[in-house]
Amino acid sequence: MGFSILPPTEVGCPIPENTPHAVSVTLPTWEATVAYEEGEDWVVQKMSSGYPRFFVHSRIQELCAWAEQRYGRPGECAWAFPTFEIAKRCRDFVRARSDHKKIRIMQLTTPHNDEGVPPVTIVFVFVPVALKPICKQYWQHTGEGISSRLGEFCLEEFSVIPKTDGHVKDYNAFHGSKFEEKVSAKPISESAEMQTFVEERFGRNLDGKFAAEAKEALQKRISSQIKHCSQNDVFLYPTGMTAIFSAHRAILEIAGDHKSICFGFPYVDTLNILRKFGPGVHFLGNGEDVDIDEVERLCKEEKILALFCEVPSNPLLKTPDLKRLRALADKYNFAIIVDDTVGNMLNIDVHDYADVVASSLTKVFSGDSNVMGGCVVLNSKSPWYSKFQETLEHQYEDTVWGEDAIYLERNSRDFAERNSHINQNAEAVVELLEKSPLVKKVFYPKTAPSKHHYEAIKTENGGYGGLVSIVLNDEDSAKRFFDTLQTAKGPSLGTNFTLTCPYAILAHYGELDFVESFGVDRNLVRISVGLEPKEELIRVFEKALSVCQ
């Protein structure tokens, strides 16, 4: 395993290159990242890809343009969603933030075809063009917009574009009713009856009709790694943010309209969800042990709905004291919802403390940066378990597009092997960075002040993950280091290749003073370490550091 570092360097190029449904995009310099945030044409006009919740894929843009031309009214724009219930949530979100109450919803169904693929329903929300930014907020925060592969499928079925061989439609690649699971060495363990896919042997893609089997395989693969968990406790979602949003929707229905607590500095849209959907949030952005006293003070003053946290946090890699938080949750009757994306289920086990775990499967679980996915996992030992199960039974809609499930299943077969390799590479990179006098601070679970909290949840064979953040001695050094570093550069993390970004600039450009008050330096560089040969990786980082001397 491992490959040479040959990152794309052209502004706006998909990461990986030549990948129609890539989930990252090349922003090769600090200047280009700033220009992207400021909407400068020399960057924005070259964007052929982007992180899907922020950048509407060209196929989805084409589908919406077709709907606008055919069914729209003057001054309207269209947004596409996979179900009527999601479209209604978007409509309600827009109505709550505007004076426009006449927002149209239109549902279309693709025609029957000769390939055995059942008709697909697509739902358009038509809003005045002036309200487009509000629709985009809903799209970004919740991740509930349609997948680019679904958009492409609908374009073909509605005869907007010619059909291609790009879809997972090679029926001859499936041999028989049984699948032979291609997995790596332990700890991925699945039963002998576990069905799997064989299309990789023949260099073909599997028939899209077997999406249900792909989803079942994903549920089994995930549940096999988690104690107190069965296949039925795993709920699949099209994005990690959708998983978090769905957990939030569920607890709101279960326990009523009360504020939650966001403990620690989280990924930007987790906080957006808690702020914009429901009664609001208490934000304890430092997430230190001392802040747990504030959690208890809040619980004494008011009913708390749930506590949301990341383990470890992105980008500061802090691990909260879950044991103490669990004790408070039991005492004051609130739920703990943990996002374990950065740590991942192979490295850490939070189920002794969390009632619900939400994860982005887009990241290291997939690794290939060509498909989105997420999951919610319920803890069967939780006092909230039966209420979450009952609520999700009627709230849950399976909106994972079948083709995406097939890619996700295929990508994740060697999850354990890749995770182990990434853990080792990241430790080597951290060792180098910590020795450098040019690096003022390294953020990493193994070296953080909260290391003992991480160790308490670390699995027997787990490591510390592939995410590292650093602050160099000054802004000029940070820019030179980043511009020189020969890795892929753009949004996302957990990719099979090393991926770097100036995180605060990319995620918080409009609120740099605010994030710095919680320890996120405006010149912080976030590094997601990949599978490259360790020696080559070290050389690349040594070279980038050398220009800062």
Residue 165: what pLDDT?
Answer: 54
Structure tokens at 296: 């208890």
Domains and CATH numbers, the chain: 58-146 (3.30.70), 220-413 (3.40.640.10), 415-546 (3.90.1150.10)
Q: Give the pair of three-digit tokens for residue 19.
A: 């990948």
Give 193's pLDDT tier (boundaries 50, 70, 90): very low
The reported pLDDT for the residue numbered 102 is: 82
Higher pLDDT, 190 or 427: 427
Cα(323)–Cα(47) distance, rounded to whole angstroms? 45
Contact criterion met (CB below 8 Å) for 324 and 353:
no
How far apart (Å, rounded) are the C-alpha atoms in residues 362 and 496? 11
Kind of pairing, strands 439-443 and 467-472? antiparallel
461/420 Cα distance (integer angstroms):
9
The answer to whether 385 and 491 are in contact (CB under 8 A) is: no
Note the pLDDT tens digit of each residue in 333-351. 999 999 999 999 999 999 9
pLDDT in tens, 354-406: 999 999 999 999 999 999 999 999 999 999 999 999 999 999 999 999 999 99
> What's the chain's average pLDDT?
90
Query: Could you please report the per-residue DSSP string of 343-391?
Result: T-TTTB--TTT-SEEEEETIIIII-SSS---EEEEE-TTSTTHHHHHHH
Whether the per-residue pLDDT at 181 is higher than 70: the answer is no
Find the helix packing angle between 322-332 and 291-301, rounded to 10°: 10
Cα distance between residue 490 and residue 48, in whole Å: 13
Per-residue model confidence as pLDDT tens digits over 215-246: 999 999 999 999 878 999 999 999 999 999 99
Q: What is the pLDDT of residue 207?
A: 58
pTM for this one?
0.91
Q: 191 vs 83, which has greater pLDDT?
A: 83
- The mean pLDDT value for 13-19 works out to 91
Determine the average pLDDT of the residues in 321-331.
98
pLDDT at residue 3 tops 80: no
Structure tokens that stand for 301 in this block: 């003053």
Closest C-alpha among 79, 109, 76, 107 to residue 93? 79
**Residue 124 to residue 87: CA distance in whole angstroms:** 7
For residues 245 and 248, give the distance between their C-alpha atoms in angstroms, rounded to a whole number.
5
| CA 520 to chain CA centroid, nearest Å | 20
Which residues partner with 337 through β-bridges? Answer: 308, 356
Q: Does position 187 have pLDDT exceeding 50, yes or no?
A: no
What strands lie across the sheet with 76-81, from one edge to the other?
Answer: 76-81, 121-128, 104-109
**What are the pLDDT digits (tens) for 134-173?**
999 999 999 999 999 999 999 999 988 887 654 444 322 2
Task: Report the run of H or E that residue 300 belongs to, with start and end.
Answer: helix 291-301
Residue 244 identity = I
**How much is the pLDDT for 4?**
53
Q: Which of 57-61, 209-213, 467-471 has the lowest mean pLDDT?
A: 209-213
Residue with structure tokens 């029957």?
A: 112
Axis-axis angle for helices 240-255, 268-276 (nearest 10) = 30
Residue with the larger pLDDT of the pair 192 and 68: 68
pLDDT in tens, 408-419: 999 999 999 999
Whether the Cβ atoms of residue 196 and residue 180 lie closer than 8 Å to each other: yes
More confident residue, 268 or 206: 268
The mean per-residue pLDDT over the stretch 428-451 comes to 97
Residue 329, CA distances (Å) to 4, 101, 244, 326 in order: 47, 40, 19, 5
Nearest to 316 by CA among 205, 441, 440: 441
- Looking only at the bridges linking them, the beta strands covering 76-81 and 374-378 are unpaired
CA quadruple 232, 238, 244, 249: dihedral positive or negative? Answer: negative
Beta strand residue intervals within 444-515, DSSP E? 467-472, 488-489, 499-501
**Beta-carbon contacts of residue 415 (< 8 Å; ≥ 6 apart):** 184, 188, 221, 346, 364, 365, 367
User: Binning pLDDT at 50, 70 and 90, where does residue 49 land?
Assistant: confident
